[in-house]
Homo-oligomer: A and B are copies of this chain.
């Protein structure tokens, strides 16, 4: 007897009942080979390939060069929390939580515009619908001439091209998936909506939320803001710019006009964060100053947003400039001002399709409880 029936695995949830059943997530994943044979799953992974394809095409058109960054990194990197340790010959090393430092080093090495697509590792014990311990990061970084909004303009265009490309070139796949997992089509504006963090806070306050100016958004408030913005602007995608400096990592460039804020941004799809990016501090002395300001005296430095993007996590990082020497040194011979970001492939696919679990968009997902098949 088969461990699951394709008919059950392919049944829309609203048709379950009257003796008709579905297959729960763990049974599906334990028997992934069979589960993947449904036309829904075939379509999901074709569309996911499409996300990478369209995204990469858009970047290459704009002169971004594809690079490959190491996943095994030395101990002295971004702090010790939430990283997987690896035995490396007689010593030990860690799995990269993000390619960020390396793509920035490529910018310092005069690559101008780079992107990289690869595995990202997070040793977080997060058992939610949207966290994985291993996922695919689509990262990019670019030098700019005058203002980091040049980069935000590119990001806005990239996502418009992504959503359009998917809806036009993958219409059949979307239709197939919609039969099993019905969902309102993804809505977006052209150009992309961009509002300041403080405007977002104001919208929340107008809707009864109490929060401080320099407080980060909770997950609940992110979702609420997504709903408010959907009603007001008719879009499932928007960019929130100018986050409070206090809630962003040490390498984030402060806003020169207002030191309480920073040149950093988050992107949202259907009320969930899919990317967190920023202009980076590219002056080594200022970088050390920021590290000292945040790290020394405070003993450890905690911020809610991930070091990087695409996943919001509580993160405590013992900051010490000596441990970040090669990163800081990469800016010593001159580096252009630059900004970037990265998205989590599985999360973008999930939210574009309005699916309820990131395990649906990972071929063989890895979470704290699952490392097989």
Q: In the bound complex, how far is the Cα of B371 from the Cα of A33, in angstroms?
A: 36
Tell me if B87 and A85 are in contact (CB < 8 A): yes
Tell me if B67 and A49 are in contact (CB < 8 A): yes
Contacts of A72 in B (CB 8 A): 84, 121, 133-134, 366, 371
Is the interface on chain A under 10, 10 to 19, 20 to 34, or 35 or more residues?
Answer: 35 or more
The one of B36, B73, B327 in contact with A109, judged by C-beta atoms closer than 8 angstroms, is B36
A223 an interface residue at 8 Å Cβ cutoff? Answer: no
Tell me if A32 and B363 are in contact (CB < 8 A): no
Closest to A52 in B: B66
Q: In the bound complex, how far is the Cα of B121 from the Cα of A110, in angstroms?
A: 28
A372 an interface residue at 8 Å Cβ cutoff? Answer: yes
Partner-B contacts on A (CB < 8 A): 2, 32-34, 36-37, 42, 45-46, 49, 52-53, 60, 65-74, 84-89, 91, 93, 95, 102, 105-106, 108-111, 117-119, 121, 123, 125, 133-134, 136, 326-327, 329-330, 333, 345, 362-364, 366, 368, 371-373
Further pairs besides A36-B111, A72-B371, A84-B88: 5, Cβ < 8 Å: A34-B333, A36-B110, A69-B363, A70-B363, A86-B87
List 6 A-B pairs, Cβ < 8 Å.
Answer: A36-B110, A45-B111, A71-B134, A93-B371, A326-B373, A327-B373
